[in-house]
Amino acid sequence: MGVIGVQLVVTMVMASVLQKIIPHYSLARWLLCNGSLYWYQHPSEDELRTLAGKQQLKGKSKKDRKYNGHIENKPLTIPKDIDLHLETKTVTEVDTLALHYFPEYQWLVDFTVAATIVYLITEAYYSLMGPSQEMNISIVWCMLVLAFAVKVLFSLTTHYFKVEDGGERSVCVTFGFFFFVKAMAILIVTENYLEFGLETGFTNFSESAVQFLQKQGLESQGPMSKLTFKLFLAVLCSLIGAFLTFPGLRLAQMHLDALSQTRETLTQFLLHINFLSPLLMVLLWVKPITKDYILNPPLGKESVAL
């Protein structure tokens, strides 16, 4: 029997890759700086004056006005129909230094890639060797990915709550209550329609907890009731929904912008599939759709009642 298991070796190797190789060959940085993204350089004031046909100011003009003892120039007005062509430049690594949350984005993407590789190797190891006395360490990697993602979303949401005059705070709170009510309504649905596995999971967890407490000499009916468990899940779902409010709105705006700049039918179809893919994944939890129409399709031979 080896002192160090296969899963521990894979974890140590991937940790070394994250520490030594990923900072130099980052997938997240390549996605932004591979030359496919551009930014538009803002024109200078002199260029705007030239295009608008206005003379450039030299020194202080007589038209300057005084306000509270300070000399202030009148705002420059530019017509909307000027022939302005913005200069485009590709996004480079230097440009990413000024981006907010770029280190968090880079770490999250790179760590997700590493966790995916660990998960695939671990699943292949379990399929070939079939160990029964080892813990699946890929679950820990997946939980860490979720924890880092929630942390980044929490950091983004805190900025909206720091704004005093804006309505972002009210929007987050409103969507949080909306998702709380929606989660409570979904948790009421029985397992015959939504195959979450909560009933079986909660029962196994309660039995294991009771057995553990009995071995310790403690008498207990379980760690919590089923209602408390579902209430905790609803609160967790409401928090995640509030965190995803503004990222979801931003994703919808990006989807509309991408559609407005695309004329090819195939590209528009792929954009729609990309936008609706989360909904398609959620529909897989619906038991009649998954069990009756996907795993056992009738193919017109028989009718399946929902």
pLDDT tens per residue, range 51-101: 777 665 555 454 454 444 454 556 667 777 777 778 888 888 888 888 888
**Residue 29 CB contacts under 8 Å (≥ 6 apart), including other chains:** 93, 96, 106
* pLDDT at residue 114 tops 90: yes
For residue 120, what pLDDT is reported? Answer: 92
pTM for the whole thing? 0.73
Do residues 202 and 229 touch, judged by C-beta distance below 8 A? Answer: yes
For residue 2, what pLDDT is reported? Answer: 45
Nearest 10 degrees: CA dihedral of 248, 252, 255, 256? -160
Alpha carbons 110 and 106: distance in angstroms, whole number: 6
**Mean pLDDT, rounded, for 110-130:** 89
Tokens of 149: 């993602």
Question: What length is written for the chain?
Answer: 306
Long-range contacts of 79-83, Cβ-Cβ distance < 8 Å, separation of 24 or more:
79/52, 82/48, 82/51, 82/52, 83/51
Q: How far is CA 111 from the centre of its chain?
A: 14
